[in-house]
Structure formats: C-alpha cells, structure tokens
C-alpha cells in the first residue's frame, strides 16, 4: 500500500475542505492518505485581526515526516500568485533532506485556491515546482482527466496543474461540490499512480 501525505495551509478553511476531498480520493484508490497542516507563523493576535478560522486538529508536519511517505500533495491558498510564507518556511527547513537525497524518487502534486479566477491558481503551483525539482521529487500534474475542468457555466476552480477553488475577495464563496469532485479525482488518480509505482518496486 502506498503511503501519501496531504499537507495543507488554510487561513479561512477553504484549503482544508479541498484537502479532505483529496484524502477521500486517495483512500478510494487503495492508498493510505494522512492529512497534515503546515506550522503557523502568525501570532494568535494577528490571526484574530484577520478573522482567520480556527486551526484543525491535523498534526503539524515536520521535514522528517516526509521520509515516511511515497508521495505528497501540498495544498495552500495563493499569496500574490505564489505559496504563502508558512509553506515557504517549511520548504526552507528541508535542507537536511536535500543534502542526503532523502526524497529522490518520491512523487509530488499541488492543490491551491485564490480569491478570484485569475488570482494565481497556476502560478502558485508553477513557482513551487522548483522545490520538487531540487529534491528529485517527481511532479504529477492533474491534466484534464476530469470533465468538470471543461465546464464554463459557473465559476469553479481547477486546472491541469491541480485542483483549486475560488474563495471570493472576502473569503465569502464556499468550496463548491464540483471543486470537491475535482479534488477527490486528483487524490484518486495520484493515489493510483503512486500505488502502481510502489507495487512495481516489489516485483
């Protein structure tokens, strides 16, 4: 069985909703999904002024935790079209893993979200791929395997780069059922691919 970690950073809860759908898809694929969160770097006072949602009960990821998994899906909302500081801070702590090649040959993917349709859904993923590249982690794009990605009748997230959501300028838009469907599809397809690789290694 492939072991896959989904690691989320969420200010208002949207990304956690998406991550939970990804986990559902991973488990449906026959792989084992574990949900983590990135460590918060903002103080409680600042978070309160931002009207941030309470943090979930997921364990906080550490760099050493990554060694236990065959693949990872990193989920986070955008900040000016790139990853938030909390995610970058975690990436910066993985130098020891890079020095030992501990993550070479593992698999990685991304999920994200933004206030609007053009708020950096794709650029946040594109600018995070170098983290995978330097660690030798194999990037797995979502592609267009889910027909929801072709819909044009309403505002939804998702791209060939990864599942996503549109939160609204004040975080007022919920993650839609279609966004959840794409996220679940991503988890299932990623889980199937990683499991195939894991099984093949034992032949």
Domains and CATH numbers, the chain: 3-201 (3.40.50.360)
Query: How many whole angstroms separate alpha carbon 33 and alpha carbon 25?
Result: 9
Q: Which residues contact 131 (CB under 8 A, 6 or more apart)?
A: 91, 137
The total number of residues shown for the chain amounts to 203
Query: How many whole angstroms separate alpha carbon 9 and alpha carbon 23?
Result: 15
pTM (predicted TM-score) = 0.97
Q: What is the pLDDT along the chain (203 residues), one digit of tens a residue?
A: 999 999 999 999 999 999 999 999 999 999 999 999 999 999 999 999 999 999 999 999 999 999 999 999 999 999 999 999 999 999 999 999 999 999 999 999 999 999 999 999 999 999 999 999 999 999 999 999 999 999 988 889 999 999 999 999 888 999 999 999 999 999 999 999 999 999 998 88
HSE-up of residue 129 (Cα within 13 Å, Cβ side): 11
Continuous H helices in the chain: 14-28, 44-49, 85-92, 95-100, 121-126, 129-135, 177-201
């Amino acid at each position: 069985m492939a072991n896959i970690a989904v690691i989320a950073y969420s200010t208002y809860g949207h990304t956690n909703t998406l991550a939970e759908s990804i986990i559902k898809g991973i488990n449906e694929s026959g792989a084992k999904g574990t949900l983590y969160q990135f460590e918060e770097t903002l103080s409680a006072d600042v978070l309160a002024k931002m009207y941030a949602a309470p943090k979930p009960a997921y364990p906080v990821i550490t760099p050493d935790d990554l060694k236990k998994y065959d693949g990872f899906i990193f989920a986070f909302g955008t900040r000016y079209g790139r990853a938030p500081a909390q995610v970058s801070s975690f990436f910066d702590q993985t130098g020891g893993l890079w020095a030992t090649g501990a993550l070479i040959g593992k698999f990685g993917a991304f999920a994200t979200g933004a206030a609007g349709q053009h708020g950096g859904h794709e650029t946040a993923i594109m600018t995070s791929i170098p983290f995978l590249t330097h660690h030798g982690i194999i990037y797995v794009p979502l592609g267009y395997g889910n027909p929801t990605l072709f819909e044009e009748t309403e505002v939804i997230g998702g791209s060939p780069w990864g599942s996503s959501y549109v939160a609204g300028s004040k975080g007022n838009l919920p993650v839609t059922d279609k966004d959840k469907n794409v996220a679940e599809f991503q988890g299932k397809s990623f889980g199937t691919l990683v499991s195939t690789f894991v099984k093949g290694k034992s032949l």
